[in-house]
Amino acid sequence: MAGVVLAAKGENEMITIYHASKEIFSDSSWFGYEGIGLSMEEIIVKFQSGEYFKAGELNTNDLDAAYGASQNLVSGWGDGKQRSTSVGDIIENDEGFHIVDRAGFLQIINKGAA
């Protein structure tokens, strides 16, 4: 996992990546999360109701590093069975839950506000 910014020993920094189910994920997601055809509220409801599945965890708190490390460019990540993280997937760090958009991430749930 080259390029992953690892947490220092003793720090509990971990990112969890959730992939959208096949019913949610489609080729139209290349147009950003809105290309999925769901509002942000509908995506949050689908996430909270279990229509996303936990794809894996990475030892970092950096969204960009986690996104880069969860691409299948050279070899698979995690246990090697996951697809690459894509637009519409959700990444959780210590700040909250973020949807992967066409360029960057949008925070959808703030852990500080919970």
Please write the tens of the pLDDT for every residue from 12-37.
689 999 998 876 665 445 455 555 67
Please write the tens of the pLDDT for every residue from 41-96.
888 888 999 989 999 999 999 999 999 999 987 777 877 778 899 888 999 999 99
Residue 50 resides in a domain: yes
Residue 6 resides in a domain: no
pLDDT bracket for residue 107 (50, 70, 90): very high
Of 101, 11, 21, 106, nearest to 60 by C-alpha is 11
Amino acid at 87: V
Task: Name the one residue in this structure whose structure tokens are 């995506």.
Answer: 43
Residue 30 resides in a domain: yes
Number of domains in the chain: 1
Q: How far is CA 45 from the centre of its chain?
A: 16
Residue 51 resides in a domain: yes
Residue 81 resides in a domain: yes
Residue 108 resides in a domain: yes
Helix segments in the chain, DSSP class H: 40-48, 63-69
Quick one: pLDDT at residue 24?
Answer: 67
pLDDT bracket for residue 10 (50, 70, 90): very low
Residue 44 resides in a domain: yes
